[in-house]
Amino acid sequence: MGVRENFNVIQNTSGTIAAIGLEKIGKIAAGNLVTPAIWVLNTVTNNSTPNAIDIGIYASGFVSAPAAITVSTVKALSDDSINRKVTEIRLQHEAKYRPFILPVQNYGHNAPFFVAQDIAGNGGTVWQGQNHQWVYITDARGLLVPDFKPNNFRQAMQPNFPFERNRNNKFIFCSRTCRW
Amino acid sequence: MRQIPKLFILIILLSACSVEQNTDKAQHTDLSEFNQICIFFDELSEQTSITTLSGKEKNDFIMERLESLRPDGNAKLAWTVIRNFTPNEERYSMFKQGVESVIEQEWNCLSMEALAASSIDEAGGLLVDTQSEPLPSNVVLMKEAVWEGASEKNTSKQ
Give the pLDDT confidence of A135-145 residue by residue, as tens digits.
999 999 999 99
Residue A25: which pLDDT band, with cuts at 50, 70 and 90? very low
The pLDDT of residue B158? 44
| pLDDT tens-digit map of B64-79 | 999 999 999 999 999 9
> Can you give the pLDDT at residue A134?
98
Q: Is A154 on the interface with B (CB under 8 A)?
A: no
Q: Please state which of the ranges A81-95, B7-21, B110-124 shows the lowest mean pLDDT.
A: B7-21
Give mean pLDDT, residues A17-36. 51
Please state, in angstroms and rounded to a whole number, the distance separating the CA atoms of residues B42 and B111.
5
Which value does ipTM take for this structure?
0.81
Interface test with A, best of B81, B96, B99, B157 (most A CBs within 10 A): B81
Phi-psi region of B70 (alpha: psi -120 to 50; beta: other; left: phi over 0): beta
Q: Which residues contact B131 (CB under 8 A, 6 or more apart)?
A: none
Query: Residue B154: which of A106, A143, A148 has the nearest Cβ?
Result: A106
Flag whether pLDDT at A6 surpasses 70: no
For residue B102, give the nearest of A111, A139, A143 by CB distance.
A111
Q: Find the helix or strand (DSSP H, E) in which B127 lies.
A: strand B126-127
- Give residue-wise pLDDT tens across range A149-172: 999 999 999 999 999 888 778 999
Instruction: Quote the crossing angle between the two packed helices A35-45 and B4-45, to the nearest 10°.
Output: 140
Contact (CB, 8 A) for B75 and B69: yes
Whether the CB of A42 is below 8 Å from some CB of chain B: the reply is no
Indicate the pLDDT class of residue B133, thresholds 50, 70 and 90: confident
pTM score, whole prediction = 0.74
What does the pLDDT read at residue A178?
95
